[in-house]
Structure 1
């Protein structure tokens, strides 16, 4: 790497020194500016920081370790002297270390153990644009802790998020902007054909890129499975080292991808988004970008985080492209079309909006705050907080008031995933050999293998990463004895403390299961493992083609296993509709969450009021109509017409009769009439008319009768029903019955003319009119001309206003 004095960020050092001490600075610096390397070394050399430690936070372990080694080398020292690091499972620092590079999760634990951060003078958040959950949480906690340390300096560095937005959110931060040291990168678009497999296309692109690259090729792929597949598809490449780079590798294997190659050899690094930022990978002048990444998406219903393959954001595409120009001019091949970029989001969604928040909720409560009360650049997802609190209650970590229990205090102090920490707490009271077995189990739960032939696995079958976590758990549980395997019964006794919601019951001897939390899971059709009526499902995967999750690791259970103290097994009295008539009956069910294990008829059956109350709930929640309103249709149309035409002040004192109001107020107007109903058949047969009429008091009923009469007395002396289901309300009668009536009759205090449907002597419609005077003057003579010859026995006077209204024939008048 070129000398730090040539890096663009060095131009800001004087301004940084003048503004950082005891204050907050936000630095916006593109890749290659030197913010992760030259800047920390500069601070380390300033007199102000000689007696205080600087913490440099990195989102990834490999970045933290790599930067620590690079900076120590610049000082001519070994890691652990002035520059050290601490990541999960590994640390190298000493009392002399003044620049300590840590991952963000480690920093959260630092704060929990020492909110004042004694001995620390400056905290640097590097790559803040990645918006990891630990980064956001650590910053939110630090902002509260600074009330105890007004001398603490804070530097937030971002490569893509606009620094001014972050500074505006913080309120009192100084903004510095650095140029990047980016060599020109030529971008070429090579989209996947419609009929092509994208991984095959990617491998072909990589093989072609190797010949164009002068040094090496960095390939961005979503995950380790795609990395392995592309490795398989690549042809023989002489003098080419193909190196993977992803989180599942050990640190030593990751560092191999970052090393220089011998002269005459090129390298191809197949990487996940772990290589987007922070790391400078030597020997790379070409990038092949698949445009895909693996993103964690939390599913609140299942309480499970699903890894999905999705398109990257524009910001990520820019970061990836820039890797080709870190050390010189480069090229970037994008395996999508330029037109596709219109549909790409600008930035990745922050983890606090999409991830499982159970660990964050636990950390915030341990901190002494509610998560939603902390200061976040993006507010946490409220639905995910609610699900997290439900899980923590199920684990016994929180009580009914969402306060930490005594067990919760112990779980929080471990600083691990709440499920695993709860298992570890339960294991602490066991024998030494059982604790050793618990460490072996916890390692497998933390680093699971998808669908092993059996679970739990033996110690010899664990991956390197799982063995590393096994050693960690041995230390946490003070277990020195090595146990080669975990007995299934002990595995269940331990795992149930962390997964009480994952008990699953087989559905009708099928491959499908109902889980205690209410979700579904199934064995894949090609999965030949033994089914059992009851399982404890520990890990699951998802597919867009199936609503149920697919079962990975599980333990088979017996019904006696369900008497475990961690499982909330209880008899519950429930009201159910039973039999062909759907009669209401009280049933006692032995339940574990959504799972019903046994049922029996309850000795105490529901009272009339309980039946009515359940009916109200049933009707309100049903998506289909359970009340037959057709029996009250005429009355409802009439009263709704009245409410629409009464003076607004008067109408405001009447009850509402619209459908949504009637449904919401069932308990007040319908339930009192349901005491004798014992089944859904009774409900279907029930007429709501009396109950609806009773909603009006006597004065309102009298007013309704006058304002909207049910009948109209025709000039013929006969009464006819007014149909309020039409607008305006209608009366149908023979034309001869309105002889002598000069104008249309009215209702609603004379505000609305009735619509008269005038019928022939045979009862067939002749004319509809709400203006009778106009009918007599304009249409009657034509009607008379057409009808007189057809109905000669009935009167058709020349002057209908002088004629006698009648229903009779001329001979009977």
Structure 2
């Protein structure tokens, strides 16, 4: 840790103390300035907040615990007195603790329980540049709560994010900047040879780095797998210590201890060591340039840890770890030219992560996630998927408001699926609650060998064992329930994972090896996995391979038909249309479905009336994404309707129907179904043209307005009418809304003689593109600027065409010539 003397941030303490009451401050300080250690301690010792707390927020559990221990040592006190900490599943503080180091997720729970933070004087956001999900959410919630506490101080600290940008976003914040205590660092670029694995190369670079190190080497690696592989590979005259989240806390803290003089160490770490933590005895860094980040896949509703290149900001942070004690060196496993393609900053979690937990906390707070004040807006698709999942769990109602069940789920402050299972067992027997404690611990921290799921309590290790004890305490049960049967696990897990039911693909006599999930995605076992063969599965964890679109099944349990009668699942008979026979006639059947999965089917017991039958046809079309409709026949009509809508006056647009793809599909019952009364089979449906039905959405005045703005024909200067073609540019298919529409007319060049400029439509706002043809009807030129064509390109066209078509006029001054379709003889 940094020593609390002569740190650069010390010079700013008087200014911070003078301004922090009821103010927003942004402190930009490089690594080594003392913002995480000296500044909080100075505020504790010199501040006037005797009856209130200082909250120091950290993005990582290990950093929070380590910093709290360090600060307590500076006061010659055990942690838990003046300085304490509170992280998930662990806390050490008391009523009179004045400086509390907490993780950002815990801070969100503090705000939910007391929006005024009545016992808090100052909130410090440390390492805000990491942009974790709950750092952004906690700050957004705090900004909404500040009017309740005008005396509350807010200090946002960042090493790499531009402070002025944050201050401008906050609106009324003052910026403070501190120099860093950074010694010069020599950079060495050591990229692996093309086609060679980077991990063995990294081992060679570590050996080189250790030779130049006086005290120790810090190696940044993507994850625990690479750390484990290197740990086994390295044979070095130094102590090799791993550092990652999966290690027990004691093993993590061992990497942070100072070694006796004369001994060297090599710390193999993930980006857990990138910020906040200072590892003593490090003067050389080896940076793999890689990190493992969580990327959310909306279609599957799960996150994948993906290895990717770090940002320039992360590279700066990592290199800085070598210059905390004196001049250092950093070995980078990439070439200097590679840095041109590296992004400046990491994307915030609001853009890349699963937002279901954040959306639930926002609902509990009384707001919508997208309405909160964020430095970067949340991913709109991820918000939509999050709300869909919360509705499926019964946490939100049809209007996306928190239900009574949702209130109980939200009170746990846990991931929604986990909390939903917890709520389900609140009134169950102690044995059942004990089984739930075992299950939830393994869902939060799945075993590395998924085929062993579920584990007994004796086999739980590390964080999984801690979480088991936490849930036992939460459920008020003794640790006597140590085994969890597959049947018990299924009965519990279905409360939170009903959308993870999978059915084997293939026919009964030719079963496949892959599965279809209830949410519509595909999944399969790894080719080396010996499991498989069951018709029904409950898939609890999944992973991805970049080589295939299906997810790789992790922890899973086989299901029986009886399991599908679980109260969390809704199985009801409903009527559907299916295709039957060579003519693909629409046949009405009754089916049971779980999302995208067909569970059972039988012949319809009661035939529906005509209105119900047409509605079933609408459902069929919507389920097939409208692909069975002949949209190709109305491509130009849709482009014309959309172009007209774009150029309507404001008062005219209010009554104009929406012709977007989504609206047309959602409103099939209104505009298309009245024309489907006699449709009996798929071929008839495909032959049906939507043109008349689409135009019928407009009243008489609107149809007149359509003809005015986007006429179907244009009368050329020759006096002849020509059809105007409307083209949707950059459309992926005929059913997609176009980003822009182009209107064009194809006609012989001689028909526009005498026209000085290009014609327009849409009240002069859209210029027609003229596709000028030769007398034989072959393309000569395409232009939307006729005046320019006459002045520039025409003379060249005339030179090339006059000899080929001598019977047709080619005047020297086309703007003064007579427009015609006739030859010179008839003229």
Structure 1 residue 402 corresponds to structure 2 residue 403? no
SS of equivalent residue, structure 1 residue 65: helix
Cα 1:755/1:496, change in 2 over 3 Å:
same
Of 369, 372, 377, the residue aligned with 1:371 is 369
Residue 546 (structure 1) aligns with: 548
SS of equivalent residue, structure 2 residue 411: helix
Cα-to-partner distance string for 1:572-601 (whole Å, 9 max, x where unaligned): 222233322121222221011111111223
Structure 1 residue 587 corresponds to structure 2 residue 585? no
Residue 166 (structure 2) aligns with: 166
Cα-to-partner distance string for 1:731-765 (whole Å, 9 max, x where unaligned): xxxxxxxxxxxxxxxxxxxxxx999999xxxxxx9
Residue 776 (structure 1) aligns with: 825
Whole-angstrom distance in 2 between the partners of 1:659 and 1:285: 60
**Contact preservation (8 Å) 2:808, 2:823:** no
Whole-angstrom distance in 2 between the partners of 1:117 and 1:696: 58
Cα 1:367/1:725, change in 2 over 3 Å:
closer
Residue 236 (structure 2) aligns with: 237
Identify the range of structure 1 (609-618 vs 25-34) with the bigger mean alpha-carbon deviation. Answer: 609-618
**Contact preservation (8 Å) 1:22, 1:152:** yes
Cα-to-partner distance string for 1:287-331 (whole Å, 9 max, x where unaligned): 000000000011111110111001000000000000000111100
Cα 1:576/1:37, change in 2 over 3 Å:
same
Of 262, 271, 287, the residue aligned with 1:289 is 287
Residue 280 (structure 1) aligns with: 278
Whole-angstrom distance in 2 between the partners of 1:267 and 1:501: 48
Aligned positions of 1:465-614 closer than 5 A: 465-508=463-506, 509-605=511-607
Whole-angstrom distance in 2 between the partners of 1:72 and 1:194: 50
SS of equivalent residue, structure 1 residue 247: coil
Whole-angstrom distance in 1 between the partners of 2:241 and 2:388: 43
Whole-angstrom distance in 1 between the partners of 2:46 and 2:203: 49
Cα-to-partner distance string for 1:598-627 (whole Å, 9 max, x where unaligned): 122324446556666777884995557748
Whole-angstrom distance in 2 between the partners of 1:431 and 1:692: 60
Aligned positions of 1:132-147 closer than 5 A: 132-147=132-147
Whole-angstrom distance in 2 between the partners of 1:361 and 1:184: 44
SS of equivalent residue, structure 2 residue 326: coil
SS of equivalent residue, structure 2 residue 147: coil
**Contact preservation (8 Å) 2:630, 2:689:** no
Whole-angstrom distance in 1 between the partners of 2:515 and 2:360: 30
Whole-angstrom distance in 2 between the partners of 1:177 and 1:550: 48
Cα 1:708/1:448, change in 2 over 3 Å:
closer
**Contact preservation (8 Å) 2:628, 2:685:** no
Whole-angstrom distance in 1 between the partners of 2:442 and 2:311: 33
Whole-angstrom distance in 2 between the partners of 1:163 and 1:578: 66
Whole-angstrom distance in 1 between the partners of 2:721 and 2:53: 90
Residue 415 (structure 1) aligns with: 413
Cα 1:224/1:586, change in 2 over 3 Å:
same
Residue 244 (structure 2) aligns with: 246
Structure 1 length as normaliser, TM-score? 0.81
Whole-angstrom distance in 2 between the partners of 1:692 and 1:2: 71
Cα 1:165/1:757, change in 2 over 3 Å:
closer
**Contact preservation (8 Å) 2:357, 2:416:** yes
Cα-to-partner distance string for 1:417-465 (whole Å, 9 max, x where unaligned): 1111111111222221221121111111110013433321111221222
Whole-angstrom distance in 2 between the partners of 1:259 and 1:92: 21
Cα 1:119/1:535, change in 2 over 3 Å:
same
Whole-angstrom distance in 2 between the partners of 1:660 and 1:65: 53
Whole-angstrom distance in 1 between the partners of 2:269 and 2:195: 26
CA apart distance, 1:373: 2.2
**Contact preservation (8 Å) 1:450, 1:553:** no
SS of equivalent residue, structure 1 residue 511: strand
Structure 2 length as normaliser, TM-score? 0.80
Cα-to-partner distance string for 1:369-400 (whole Å, 9 max, x where unaligned): 22222221111222212211111122122222
CA apart distance, 1:182: 0.3
CA apart distance, 1:360: 1.0
**Contact preservation (8 Å) 2:630, 2:690:** no
SS of equivalent residue, structure 2 residue 48: helix
Whole-angstrom distance in 1 between the partners of 2:71 and 2:776: 95
Residue 52 (structure 1) aligns with: 52
Aligned positions of 1:42-121 closer than 5 A: 42-121=42-121
Cα 1:98/1:771, change in 2 over 3 Å:
closer
**Contact preservation (8 Å) 2:17, 2:47:** no
CA apart distance, 1:3: 4.5
Cα-to-partner distance string for 1:61-92 (whole Å, 9 max, x where unaligned): 11111111111111122111211111122222
SS of equivalent residue, structure 1 residue 143: helix
**Contact preservation (8 Å) 2:630, 2:687:** no
Residue 759 (structure 2) aligns with: none
**Contact preservation (8 Å) 1:757, 1:768:** no
Cα-to-partner distance string for 1:220-265 (whole Å, 9 max, x where unaligned): 000000101111221x212x11001011111111100000112332
Aligned positions of 1:246-265 closer than 5 A: 246-265=244-263
SS of equivalent residue, structure 1 residue 562: helix
SS of equivalent residue, structure 2 residue 578: strand
**Contact preservation (8 Å) 1:611, 1:678:** no
Whole-angstrom distance in 1 between the partners of 2:422 and 2:661: 52
Whole-angstrom distance in 2 between the partners of 1:666 and 1:394: 25
Cα 1:502/1:175, change in 2 over 3 Å:
same
Cα 1:671/1:356, change in 2 over 3 Å:
closer
Whole-angstrom distance in 1 between the partners of 2:524 and 2:712: 61
CA apart distance, 1:101: 0.7
**Contact preservation (8 Å) 2:397, 2:403:** yes
CA apart distance, 1:676: 3.0
Whole-angstrom distance in 1 between the partners of 2:262 and 2:695: 95
SS of equivalent residue, structure 1 residue 507: strand
**Contact preservation (8 Å) 2:629, 2:688:** no
Residue 432 (structure 1) aligns with: 430
Whole-angstrom distance in 1 between the partners of 2:292 and 2:598: 37
Whole-angstrom distance in 1 between the partners of 2:668 and 2:426: 55
Identify the range of structure 1 (71-80 vs 29-38) with the bigger mean alpha-carbon deviation. Answer: 71-80
Whole-angstrom distance in 2 between the partners of 1:568 and 1:693: 40
Identify the range of structure 1 (274-283 vs 71-80) with the bigger mean alpha-carbon deviation. Answer: 71-80
SS of equivalent residue, structure 1 residue 147: helix
Q: Cα RMSD between the aligned structures?
A: 3.8
**Contact preservation (8 Å) 1:432, 1:481:** no
Whole-angstrom distance in 1 between the partners of 2:632 and 2:236: 77
Whole-angstrom distance in 2 between the partners of 1:343 and 1:283: 33
Whole-angstrom distance in 2 between the partners of 1:147 and 1:178: 29
Whole-angstrom distance in 1 between the partners of 2:672 and 2:213: 79
Residue 154 (structure 2) aligns with: 154
**Contact preservation (8 Å) 2:540, 2:556:** yes
SS of equivalent residue, structure 2 residue 351: helix
Structure 1 residue 124 corresponds to structure 2 residue 173? no
Whole-angstrom distance in 1 between the partners of 2:246 and 2:486: 27
Cα 1:356/1:754, change in 2 over 3 Å:
closer
Whole-angstrom distance in 1 between the partners of 2:660 and 2:2: 75
Whole-angstrom distance in 1 between the partners of 2:31 and 2:691: 74
User: Which has the larger Rg?
Assistant: 1
Aligned length: 715
CA apart distance, 1:6: 0.8
CA apart distance, 1:530: 4.2
CA apart distance, 1:725: 11
Whole-angstrom distance in 2 between the partners of 1:591 and 1:213: 64
